[in-house]
A and B are shown apart, each in its own frame.
Chain A
Amino acid sequence: MQCAPPPPKSNTNLLRNRAQAAPEGATLAEVFSPCASDGAAISFALAHIQVGDKPLLWVQDRVSRLESGAPYLPGLPAGLHVITVEVSKASDLLWTMEEGLRCPDLCGVLGEVWGDPPTLDFTASKRLALRAEAHNVPAWLIRRGAHANLSAARLRWRVSSLPAQADPFDRHAPGSPLWQADLFRARFRTPGEWVVSHDGEKLHFDHGVNRDIPAVAQAIM
């Protein structure tokens, strides 16, 4: 005796959900990284992914792998099981992400794409977004060297590094990281800018006015 899996959501349901105030569950988000070799964008996306017994599908195109490096397991959260896919073309990357989003045994799909490939247009991003919402698998698209042109991503971030917090044991060393996160387009919420810190489990969004500037400045001196 086997129960049938829940059917994918129909277009009517999707339209009805869109009319509601907040989306339920996972969706597609884009993170732009102004600096190619900055680890802030990828860490920001990783901090959103729920680590469980399901693996993460991590897709990279060739240029992204060369420019920003390959995922390194000791620097990732413990228990995260990563399946890496290396592709050479953006069309293969989008196909792989779509296939991954169809699989409910993944905790997320992370794609890194370089530049503005012509195949990554509004239609492609909409396919990704609809499929992520239908199967409730979060999708994150990291874009480097890219322009924020037309896209159907529900959340579009621009994330860069800020000087890290002070290390409590070594005032010459960088401590836990801080990121400048700019949500410049969002479908279901108000855009804004935050200073984001991550304590290993949760993300903290601050407005940046109460930041301890003197501590950083003192360290710079």
Chain B
Amino acid sequence: MSKLDGWELVIGLEVHCELRTATKLFCGCPNMFGDEPNTNVCPVCLGLPGSLPVINRQAVEFAMRIGAALNCSIEPSTFHRKNYFYPDMPKDYQVSQYDEPINVGGYLELPDGFRVGIERAHMEEDTGKTMHAGGDGRIHGSSHSLVDYNRSGVPLVEIVSAPDMRSSAQARAYVAELRAILVAIGASDGRMEEGSLRADANVSVRRPGEPLGTRCEIKNVNSLRSLGRSIEYEAARQVDLITAGEKVQQQTRHWDDANGRTITGRTKEEAEDYRYFLEPDLVPLAPDAAWITTVRGSLPALPAERRGRVAAAAGAEPASQAVVTVVDLELDDLVCAAVAAGADGRIALARASNEVAANVDAGRRLDAGAFASLVKLEAGGGLTATQAKTVLGELLETGGGDPAAIAAARGFEAMDSNALDATIDEIIAAHSDEWARYREGDPKMAGFFVGLVMKATQGKADGKAVNAALQDRLKPA
């Protein structure tokens, strides 16, 4: 019985995506993670007196691509200043988009077909990074902080979903799918662990049918796992409060991963007044119809479409783990090429989502023709599954080659069934006690016999075939 039974979770997500441009949003400093602090800065991104912003065309292109991929309307837009004081903000205002964002009104479809509404996806600049010193690294208890402005001015698109999600699993699926889309269109490198994709969750609870409850925003979530855990924790926390007769206060809470809880931020006497006004140092964006059409037309196949394609080729479900895995790892083309060459789709998908997936970098370099040949060998019985996996391992290492030649070099060939039967009979005869226990259903005995058969045949037998043969001998003669 979950504490949340009888309660409905309402979840909206705000995902910040750092764009994969060469330079920052308003200046020509490199957009680069991991460089020495304060080496990628200039008058503009340091907020020096007299500096002025000029918008990066590529950032606009990526923002439009994101809007197109999320089925948004791409609109003329303006930039506003969001005014507040914080040391990671060199101008003590952030340039963002307020009431006229570049993308509005779209949706994202989860692999299972559930649609999450996208309210807007707007452009803004990233802040610098602060490190807290003198304590345990957190703000509370620190004696001073250190600021690096390399990240200040990096272009972001903030994607705001409608509060359509109803479970932490859906929230995770949303972020996973969004990430896959952003990577597919080239807008992001998807590295959540480096902070290039950051998710804040707005969570509230209510009894079904009742109006929306007060929501809290959870920040500082750095992985899909933390996203799930933090949402579960926060929902339970709110249920506890309401059940105890207390009110949920609207606030921003931070996810403390080490201790598995959300903690309240600084309590403020008054809500922040950002005093938004139109950024006078910039002029509006109004992409013309031709540019918009070009952007929409230049999108590559998105993950949903690719999953559908490889699922159809392999005879699998689009939402199945194997399909999701191969598309996620960009191995779907390999599978589709194998099928197109006449190989068995089910086996191609299985090998791709397991063995090739385990060695993705090599898998992306793997020669499609070699892969197709290998699948055909296995499908046609020329190789056992075990043998095929071994050959595949070698193919991955070398990036190609002739599977048949590799198999021959290793002395692989499928065992013909008569020889196999004979071998099995010999072994059974030599181990009558163990056979008796096998007949009685001792589960360990199957492995015992399969092991002996494999040893006797020097691995040439196919494990499944051996099991089947043993089972056959259980039937009355």
Whether chains A and B associate is no
Interface residues of A (CB under 8 A from B): none
